[in-house]
Amino acid sequence: MTGVSYLAVAPEIILTAGAVVVLMVDVFARPSSRVHGWLVSATYALVAIAIGFQWRRVDIDGPGLSFGGTLLLNHLSVTVRAVLLVTAVLGTAAAWRMLIGLRRRAAEGVALVMVATVGFMLMGASADLVMTFVALEVGSIALYVLAGIVRSSPAGDEAAMKYFLLGAFASAIFIYGGALIYAAAGSTNVYEIAARLSGVHVVRPAVLLIGIGLIVVGLGFKVTAAPFHSWAPDVYQGAPAGVVGFMAAVAKIGGFAALLNILTGGFERYSGAWGDGLALVAAVSVILGTLMAIQQSDVRRMLAYSGVAHAGFILTGLAAGLVASSGILFYLATYSVMVVGAFAAVTAVSGQAATGSSFEEYRGLGRRSPVVAAVLATLMIAMSGMPLTTGFIGKFQVFTSAWEGGYEWLVITGLLASVAAFFFYLRLVVVMYFGGEDGDGTTLETARSIRWVLVFSAGASVLLGVFPGPLLDVLNRVGA
Amino acid sequence: MTGYLWIVIVLPLAGALFNHFLGRRIGEPRAAGPAILAVLGSFAFAAVAARDFFISAGSSEQAVAVVHLFDWIPGLGARAELLWDPLSATMTLVVTGVGALIHIYSVGYMHGDPRFGRFFTYLNLFIASMLILVLANNFALLFVGWELVGLCSYLLISFWYTRPSAAAAGKKAFVVNRVGDFGFMVALMIIFLSFGTLSYTEVLHDPGTVIGAGTATAIGLLLLVGAAGKSAQLPLHVWLPDAMEGPTPVSALIHAATMVTAGVYMVARCAAIFGLSDVAGGVVATVGALTALLAATIAIAQRDIKRVLAYSTISQLGYMFMAVGVAGYVAGLFHLVTHAVFKALLFLGAGSVIHAMADQQDMNRMGGLRRKLPLTHATMLIATLSIAGIPPLAGFWSKDEILAVMFYAGGYYTVLWAVGLVTALLTAFYMARQYFMVFSGEGRWDEGVDPHESPRVMTVPLVILGALTLVIGFVNTPFRLSFEHFLDPVFHSVPVAHAPEDGFLLAALALVSVAAGLVGILIAYLIYGRASEEVRERLLGRVRRPLMAWEHGYWIDDVYGKVIVEPGLRIADWSAGVLDQRAIDGLVNGVGVAVRRLGARLRPLQSGFVRAYGSLLAAGALLVVGWIVVRGI
């Protein structure tokens, strides 16, 4: 319970140090963008090595707690870090042109991406409600600033402001939930709470349950679950395209990891209650997300609502509890890669700092830019959950968990929504390939870093869809 | 070494990817370089990895290695596992060895084609698929290779897709193979139901303890359906002659040397299952014998140089099926290897002739090419004598071993032996006929055609294959059964039929079959080599009716067209027009419209005002928290 293990926070230390170095070097040396590139790459490489050491440590010594019991070092937290690292690398590459385009403030943007990653990594490792809250704020505040980092864009300012105001509201809800739980259980540490709750008869559980509910709402906001999602379309549409994919992915990964840690770690006893609560949120998210996505005429808003639906699918698995954790992680990892790739494609089509990306811009993309169109089509098909893609494997995993957990009605709802979702995913494919002549007929120039992200995301979505075995093997050890 | 066996598959796969993305950019002839190197690399790796088998030939099963890559579909016992034993090594060496030569040859043959790079993409992809097929250690992976090979065959047959006939031929090959695949899939299902796994290691290790003769017969016959599709055996042989629409190197690689042998390989691989059922084996042998005879008669009346070879391939595959049907696995595989060499040579030679004659394939428009194409002529002559069974060429040794095995099996199989003997005579006849029509006599060329020997890049593979045809038969002669010992570890636990050991009997059988070959060549010489135009016309006029039937392949294609294709098209029309457009589209569109209307009602939720969003958030929070409290208390 006690002790200080620096290995347990090594990735976060390295990332924070990297962010500081990037900022300092920028202040004192005014280096070229190439230097920033090297610094960022080196930082990410070191983080990857640290994550490798963490995994080995857990393999040898088993899971452990440190820093007064606030931080977990187990397979789950290490996997979450790895997924976040991959997302950060892809997100940085996708946003690189945009970030460099900020000129004097490029270092700021790069550092913010790193700090956001630190925050959500800590969320995945936190075993204490206070720690979770701090981590949540570290990550979120970095994202608020990122959303408005292009100062010349009014839409970006609006997005950042909305995100910040509503985010503050959600944070308040979360911390209130934490306070109620502390009042009821006398601790903020999830394992201590679990220990205190076990074996006692809680006479009036309502305070505790309200606390749990408020925590679900607060984190549900971060993962864009409906009906706490309303900020997402506006923010995804207004924020600079380069970073939206990253923003969408990391907040989901951190939020779901925290939900998994808190609910299964501290409140296993009330799993029936929060399971039903999550199931409700899941059903609303899946239905609302799908229905609204069908209506959109802007690709970014469509992706935002599709994100709402995906949050619903992940919650479907989460409702079944810890047994679903490997499926949830698979879903999170593959969805993150898809969404970063999809927004990278949006960046390629609409430009780095643009706001909005209407379907019209995609007309005839199949001819104008075969690679971008092929990748986007692949990602849409993967997101729709077609077999032989990761989307299918992910859905299959969470649906089977939910079915075995007794949420048959939720699985059926999810299946129906998946069928309806084909409409809007394939609509984009149709527009790209069969939409008739394109407006200007010019071919697209795509930055190399973006092309790299595109090919990686589409490749991974298909490859891991055909051969999910190796990744599932690794993730299955997480659930064990 | 064998731990890295996946390199053998990955190399051509990487070559295919490379040419897919960069082939057009780097252009001809550079695109061929990586493709050829990839296949040569695979060959070299396989040759080195197979070294152990040569050293320990005939000793034990220790040489067999299973290379585990990763778990693929654990529930089916389908691990991504490669099996490295003398059988898969033989197949790998044939595929990559003959494949490499054909890759080199293609540099010359495909010269000037606008899709030069794409051609090599497909060739590499084919090699990789075939290697997956032969190296798989379970039926699921085998099936992956099986289907990929079918796909490559489709892509390559219709490579010149702007020709309607090529597009149709590709489609036909695909559809006919699908029929075979159906049987194959059912066989796999029965195997999975009986054994609970698809892994060779478990299924093929003493299956007699799990299934009885009845199940074994069912599995064997269904596997035969699949094998007949891929290896063009009766009644699914119709796609192979049409497949000649593809570029000639494709015919050589896919439709002579490698893909069509997949069926033979599969039967040999499943020897343990066929060993349990005499019926299944008997049916395999009978199908083989009938196919051999039937295809040989059809070949007699063909005028297209490649169609003769196509039917001869079907006929030779029939020999192989005969052999593996009576459990003469070594004889069958031996013929597979020699046939791969000399049939590749024949096709490449034919390609060289076609190339020289400005894409003319009608043998009536050839003749007198002996002097014009000296190298092509010499190598083609070797191959022709080899397939006719003239000693000491490769075809003699392997065909003779099959006939000896058939004769020695006795009883009913003596009849099949006689069929094989007649087929040998016919084979010698139609091959010699082809030789005389193409190379001897006067030139009957079209106006303006000036035959010329092909470039070095095409003739060198011919010479190499010619040399191989001369020597490769000696790997398994009655005097020295090296190949048989090499394969011992594979078949040591199943009953294998052998040729008789009685030297006198063997010599007598060999004499008979050589005599049959010589008689065939003699008749061909008399009709096509020596007789004048008028005499030939008169002679052939006497057998006009059978010739008609043979020329049209017994009208089997026409019957299929009337009985299967036309009604099929009518059903397809109905389901596309009535069922799909009215019933199903109507339903789907109706649902779509309903969903959109519902969605439109929800739009006001998204007003854009932060206060509205905040209220929604608060209301949602109340709802969720209330629900959790209700469910928790």
Residue-wise pLDDT for B65-86, tens only, equals 888 877 777 666 678 888 888 8
| Residues near B624 by beta carbon (within 8 Å), at least 6 away in sequence | A213, A216, A217, A220, A277, A280, A281
**Rg for chain A, CA atoms, rounded:** 21
pLDDT confidence band for A435 (50 / 70 / 90): confident
Count of CB atoms situated within 10 Å of the CB of A374: 18
Please report, as a single letter, which amino acid is at residue A145.
V
Query: Does residue A438 surpass a pLDDT of 80?
Result: no
| H or E element that contains A379 | helix A370-384
pLDDT at residue B96, as a whole number: 92
Nearest to A394, CA basis, from A381, A403, A404, A385: A385
Cβ separation B625–A234 shorter than 8 A: no
Interatomic CA distance for residues B627 and A272, integer angstroms? 12
- Terminal-to-terminal C-alpha distance of chain A: 21
Q: How far is CA B234 from CA A274, B227, B229, in A?
A: 64, 10, 9
Interatomic CA distance for residues A413 and A425, integer angstroms? 18
Mean pLDDT across B493-501: 78
**DSSP labels for B57-86?**
TTS-STT-EEEEEEEEEGGGTEEEEEEESH
**DSSP labels for A261-292?**
IIIIHH-GGGHHHHHHHHHHHHHHHHHHHHHH
The DSSP secondary-structure symbol of B446 reads P
For residue B65 the two structure tokens come to: 């290695």
Among the partner residues B80, B620, B632, nearest to A227 by beta-carbon distance: B620
Query: Does residue B174 surpass a pLDDT of 80?
Result: yes
Query: Does residue B219 surpass a pLDDT of 70?
Result: yes
Range scoring the smallest mean pLDDT among A256-265, A370-379, B14-23: B14-23
Query: Does residue B58 surpass a pLDDT of 80?
Result: no
Among the partner residues A169, A228, A420, nearest to B595 by beta-carbon distance: A420
Chain B contact present for A191, CB below 8 A: no
Cβ separation B603–A165 shorter than 8 A: no
Among the partner residues A161, A205, A423, nearest to B633 by beta-carbon distance: A205
Query: Does residue B146 surpass a pLDDT of 60?
Result: yes
Chain B contact present for A297, CB below 8 A: no
pLDDT confidence band for B43 (50 / 70 / 90): very high
Query: Does residue A2 surpass a pLDDT of 70?
Result: no
Interatomic CA distance for residues A96 and A76, integer angstroms? 30
Cβ separation A165–B605 shorter than 8 A: no
Q: Give the range with max mean pLDDT: A247-251, B187-191, B412-416.
A: A247-251
Query: Does residue B525 surpass a pLDDT of 80?
Result: yes
Dihedrals φ, ψ of A144, to 5°? -55, -45
Among the partner residues B602, B603, B631, nearest to A273 by beta-carbon distance: B631
Quick check: helix, strand or coil at residue B22?
helix
Contact list in B for residue A217 (CB cut-off 8 A) is 617, 620-621, 624-625
Interface test with A, best of B71, B589, B610 (most A CBs within 10 A): B610
Nearest to A352, CA basis, from A89, A186, A152: A152
E strands, B102-215, in order: none
For residue B527 the two structure tokens come to: 């009709």
Contact list in A for residue B632 (CB cut-off 8 A) is 205-206, 209, 212, 270, 272-274
pTM check: above 0.80: no
| Residues near A134 by beta carbon (within 8 Å), at least 6 away in sequence | A122
Among the partner residues B595, B610, B612, nearest to A165 by beta-carbon distance: B610
pLDDT at residue B277, as a whole number: 85
Count of CB atoms situated within 10 Å of the CB of A312: 31
Contact list in B for residue A422 (CB cut-off 8 A) is none
Among the partner residues A161, A213, A233, nearest to B628 by beta-carbon distance: A213
* CA B96 to the chain's CA centroid: 14
Nearest to B95, CA basis, from B281, B376, B413, B344: B344
Cβ separation A276–B628 shorter than 8 A: yes
pLDDT at residue A1, as a whole number: 47
Please give, rounded to a whole number of angstroms, the shortest distance from the CA of A7 to a CA of chain B. Answer: 31
Q: Give the range with max mean pLDDT: A299-303, B247-251, B361-365, B612-616.
A: A299-303
Cβ separation A209–B613 shorter than 8 A: no
pLDDT at residue A333, as a whole number: 94
Cβ separation B608–A292 shorter than 8 A: no
Contact list in A for residue B602 (CB cut-off 8 A) is 288, 291-292, 295
pLDDT at residue B63, as a whole number: 64
The DSSP secondary-structure symbol of A225 reads -
Cβ separation A228–B598 shorter than 8 A: no
pLDDT confidence band for B157 (50 / 70 / 90): confident
Chain B contact present for A155, CB below 8 A: no
Chain B contact present for A288, CB below 8 A: yes
Chain A contact present for B71, CB below 8 A: yes
Q: How many CB pairs under 8 A join A and B?
A: 121
For residue A290 the two structure tokens come to: 């799908």
Q: Give the rounded percent of residues in chain A with a pLDDT score beyond 90.
A: 58
Interatomic CA distance for residues B259 and B268, integer angstroms? 15
The ipTM, to two decimals, is 0.89
Chain B contact present for A206, CB below 8 A: yes
| H or E element that contains A116 | helix A106-125
Among the partner residues A210, A294, A470, nearest to B625 by beta-carbon distance: A210
Beta bridge partners of A358: A298
Interatomic CA distance for residues B242 and B368, integer angstroms? 27
**DSSP labels for B246-310?**
S-HHHHHIIIIISGGGHHHHHHHHTHHHHTT-HHHHHHHHHHHHHHHHHHHHHHHT--BHHHHHH
Q: Quick check: A160 and A239 in contact, CB under 8 A?
A: yes
pLDDT at residue B198, as a whole number: 85
- Does the CA dihedral B587-B588-B590-B591 come out positive or negative? positive
Contact list in A for residue B22 (CB cut-off 8 A) is none
Query: Does residue B60 surpass a pLDDT of 80?
Result: no
Contact list in A for residue B599 (CB cut-off 8 A) is 291-292, 294-295
Among the partner residues B592, B606, B624, nearest to A281 by beta-carbon distance: B624
Count of CB atoms situated within 10 Å of the CB of A153: 18
> B465 vs B544, which has greater pLDDT?
B465
Query: Does residue A52 surpass a pLDDT of 90?
Result: yes
Interatomic CA distance for residues A216 and A284, integer angstroms? 14
Closest chain A residue to B73 measured between Cα atoms? A469
Checking DSSP bridges between strand A71-73 and strand A64-66, what pairing results, if any? Answer: antiparallel
